[in-house]
Structures are given as structure tokens and as C-alpha cells.
Structure 1
Amino acid sequence: LMSSASEEKPLSKLSPFAVQKGFQAIAGTLKSTKKLRDGSFLVECSRRTQAENLLKTVHFVDRPVHVSVHKTLNSSRGVIRCRDLSDMSETEIRDELQTQGVVEVHRVTVKKEGKVIPTNTLFLTFNRPDLPKEIVVGYLKVKVELFVPNPLRCFNCNKFGHTSQRCRTTAKCQRCGKDKHEEQCEGPLICSNCKGPHAVSAKDCL
């Protein structure tokens, strides 16, 4: 991610020709180049040496710049399920899997009768954008599934795609789906999104 270090010389004022020649001089032919709304450039490299050259760049064409690694596009998250890892800590698992690109491990827990119980499901973060189909856990080969985060849901109106801080509609009850009331809701379970017989937070909501 390349951005201008000077407000007086934004990258957005450079012509497409100057931009192309600038990147060509630093890193050769890149896999892709995209100008973002704020005027910075998002580039995808084909080779590690291209990324290394770009990260050393402090001047681009005729202006100072900042170059950094994108926080999310250079990593991927997957899910594994393995009973044989039940007695190992997250740190121990991460250390054993580092050679396979694992940089973070998070074990899923559930609450039962007020107690937090660890499960055999683990979220793994890899230091590469392409998720491996499987990893080697000692003598085992374990399948890696794509991690799909829960969709963003507003706790005010219960709709998806925004947070309560940006909500501009009437608050809804999470139980009956009607306008929110102060007293404890005793109405029937009705999802305000799909109108099904369940709370709006139900994981099986369609």
C-alpha cells in the first residue's frame, strides 16, 4: 500500500503513465495496480523481491511516499478440527505450525452451565493470502476449511450490514421483532429479518 507523505503532492495528481513508469522502475511488471479512493495505490506483487524493493521506497516519481504491507490482504484464516490437539495451548500449537505459515491460533470455546469449555475447533491465521487445503499436524494430515466470520449485525434494529452507532431506524426487540419495549419481552419468538420462529441472533437463521 503506497500513500503520499506530502499533502501538497498527492499521488492522485500523477498521470497513469507516470505511475506505471514509476512502479516499473522500482519493481518491474506488477501483478496488479489499483488506485484507491483516498488517492493511495494498492499493488499486488508477483515475486517477493518486488515487495522488498517497494517497501524500501521513500520517493516515488517526484514525491515522498509511505509504503506498508496491507493488514489483511496478505493473510488468510482457516478452521481446523482436531481432537489430538485438545491438551495443547494455543501458543504451543502456533509454535509447532509456524513452519507452515501459521502466525496465530485461537481455540473456540463454548459456555455450558456457566462454565467456559474449550472445543477441538481452532481458528488459524496464515501469513499468506492463499489458504492451504490441509496442514501437517505431527503425523496427521488435517483438512483446513475457510473461516467465514459472522455477518455484521446492528444491535439496535437487528438488520445486517451496519452497527448500532450508525443506525438511523427504530430499535427492534431481538425476541419478538416488534418495536423495542422496556419491559421483559414475553411474546413469541419472531425473527425481524426472516420472520422465522426464532430469535434474530439464531445461528440457523436463513
Structure 2
Amino acid sequence: MDNGKPCTAPVLGSGSERPIIIARNVKFVNIHETSSTPLASLNPFLIRKVTNGWSGPVDMVRKLASGDLVKVRWANQVADLLKLTQFHIHKVVVTIPVSTNSCWGIIYCPELMDMSEDEIVKELADVDVVAARYITKFVNGTRRWTPLINLTFGQSKLPDEIFVACLRCQVKPYIPNSLRCFKCQHYGHPEKSCSFSAKCGKCATDGHTADSCTNGRMLCVNCNGNHPSWDRECPRFRFEKEVCEMKTRNNISYGEARKRVKESCETPKRNESYASGKIICY
């Protein structure tokens, strides 16, 4: 029996608004250079001297292409670092990155289905929930809410469970799907930042979209298999899904997760498919 209700309320955290991270839970801040000289090129002893002198010793400084990612040791360091405007002789802007200071989990709670997503966020603020989204499914052509709720926590570590008033709910990690471009069909970037030529998702050719495709032969852009590019049985999709799971469960970067999944492949059997239980490395 279908107990879901039609989706009528706006989805919080769906992309139209960014979740607000609770200051006491911030573990990472980004220091961005505003001139042409990248901070990553500075002497590491100078980086340590400036950060320690401004906010006290930090746990780690990781270099990024866009600036320096600093892992703080104490909560009060965040407020100090956010006031930083000059790094040695360089002008800088310090921001709180959402992705590294938040995590996503799924709870099953039918008792909340009479509440909007905004109300859920308000009531669960005491457990650091900053965004909520009902998991939906199609029933007879209508998208309906389910008792599964995707929660965004304003902290870097996912709790094992939370209390929803007097109810205890287990929190399971939310594993997002791989990001696939709807223009070129490749993984790893959105359509708006795509610099490749457009490809049909059904037959992998130029000049038309999947909706207008009349080619009787299907071809995947990513693996050259006999299926559309969005097929979830595609070896490339399943590889990318494995990377997303590795990233989520270990709270590591996408690049590090990709490296670990590649290392888990059996080198002599790199061409085996997921159907045989092996990972095809890319």
C-alpha cells in the first residue's frame, strides 16, 4: 500500500539555498589568495608561522589549487581565522566550505511525514541538522514522499543515531550518485561547466539529444557498451558509485577516494566487469 504523499512543499537544500554551518562544529576553513600569487607556492615554514601566530597551532594545512585548507584545532580558532585579511604580504579572504564541514545521512521515520522539510530542520536544530529533503519515488506517474529523509548535518562527522523527540532513529550514510554531465555524458562535472561537445545519451553521436534519437543501436559514451549512458548497470557508473561511497564513508577527497578504489582493483583482471564481481578501473 502506498502511504506516501505528493510532493508539494519546496525542498530545502536542493540547490536554491546553501545550508548554514554551525560555528561550533567547523573543522575546516579555506584561505583564498585574492591576488595572482597562490598561497600554495609559499614556504611551508612561513605558512605555519603565519597561521600559528594568528590563531595558535592548527592540526593541518592542506594545499589546494584554489587556496589553503586549514584544519583547526579549537573552535575559537575559526573566529580568529575568519578575521584574517592578510597572509604575510598577501591579501586573503577566509571562508567556511560547506562540503568539508557537513555530512549527509538517511533516517527512516514515518512519524514525520505530516511535517514539511522546513519544520523538520527547525525541530532537529538541536542535533545540528541544517537541511532536510524527503527521498521520493514515482507512483502511478506522481512523485511522492517516502518515510526516508535525507538530513544534512552541520558537522564533519556523521552521528550513528539521533533522537527525534522521544524516538531514536538510526542514521545511515547517504551515498550520492555520481555526477554525470547531461551535455557530453561524461562523469565528474556538471553541464554548466562542460567544455566538451554534446553527445546523445542513447547512441553517443553528435547533432541530437536522446529525446529525438532515432538510432536503433544504443552506445554508451563512457564504456562503449550496448546501453544508454545513464544505465545504472554501466561499469563506469558503478565504478563512479564506488568512488562516491569510498569518499562518503571515509570522509576523504574525491581524488583520494578515486585513488583508493583504483588500488583495490586486481591488476591482472582489470577488464572484468561488475557482473563478475570485479571493478573496472578508469
Both proteins in one fold, TM over 0.5: yes
Whole-Å Cα distance in 1 between the matches of residues 196 and 139 of structure 2? 33
1:34 matches 2:34? no
- Give percent identity, aligned residues only: 30
Out of 45, 62, 74, the position equivalent to 1:17 is 45
- The one-letter code of the counterpart of 1:67 is V
Whole-Å Cα distance in 2 between the matches of residues 167 and 101 of structure 1? 40
Whole-Å Cα distance in 1 between the matches of residues 79 and 112 of structure 2? 36
Residues 1:187 and 1:47: Cα distance change in structure 2 (over 3 Å): same
Match for residue 3 of structure 1? 32
Match for residue 78 of structure 2? 51
Out of 163, 169, 189, the position equivalent to 1:142 is 169
Gaps of 5+ in 1: none
- Say whether the 8 Å CA contact 1:171–1:180 is kept in structure 2: yes
1:153 matches 2:189? no
Q: What's the C-alpha RMSD, in Å, of the aligned pairs?
A: 2.9
Which aligned runs of 4 or more in structure 1 are off by greater than 6 angstroms? none
Q: Please list the CA deviations of residues 47-99 of structure 1 after superposition, one character each: whole Å capped at 9, or x if unmatched.
A: 10121211122233333321111131111111112111111111111111100
- Say whether the 8 Å CA contact 2:72–2:78 is kept in structure 1: yes
More strand by share: 1
Match for residue 66 of structure 1? 93
1:73-92 correspondence to structure 2 within 5 Å: 73-92=100-119
Equivalent position SS for 2:93: strand
- Say whether the 8 Å CA contact 2:161–2:170 is kept in structure 1: yes
More helix by share: 2
- The one-letter code of the counterpart of 1:16 is P
- Say whether the 8 Å CA contact 1:173–1:180 is kept in structure 2: no
Match for residue 120 of structure 2? 93
- The one-letter code of the counterpart of 1:125 is T
Out of 174, 197, 201, the position equivalent to 2:230 is 201
Residues 1:178 and 1:17: Cα distance change in structure 2 (over 3 Å): closer
Residues 1:60 and 1:111: Cα distance change in structure 2 (over 3 Å): same
Equivalent position SS for 2:143: strand
Equivalent position SS for 1:73: helix
How far did residue 154 of structure 1 move?
3.4
Q: TM-score, length-normalised on structure 2?
A: 0.61
- The one-letter code of the counterpart of 2:127 is Q
Equivalenced residue count is 200
Whole-Å Cα distance in 2 between the matches of residues 153 and 181 of structure 1? 19
Whole-Å Cα distance in 1 between the matches of residues 190 and 33 of structure 2? 31
Equivalent position SS for 1:110: strand
How far did residue 115 of structure 1 move?
2.1
Q: Please list the CA deviations of residues 148-171 of structure 1 after superposition, one character each: whole Å capped at 9, or x if unmatched.
A: 211122335544334553334x83
- The one-letter code of the counterpart of 2:147 is N
Whole-Å Cα distance in 2 between the matches of residues 13 and 160 of structure 1? 30
Equivalent position SS for 1:94: helix
Whole-Å Cα distance in 1 between the matches of residues 199 and 189 of structure 2? 14
Equivalent position SS for 1:66: strand
- Say whether the 8 Å CA contact 1:4–1:65 is kept in structure 2: yes
Gaps of 5+ in 2: 1-29, 236-282
Whole-Å Cα distance in 1 between the matches of residues 86 and 187 of structure 2? 42
- The one-letter code of the counterpart of 1:107 is Y
- Say whether the 8 Å CA contact 2:184–2:199 is kept in structure 1: yes
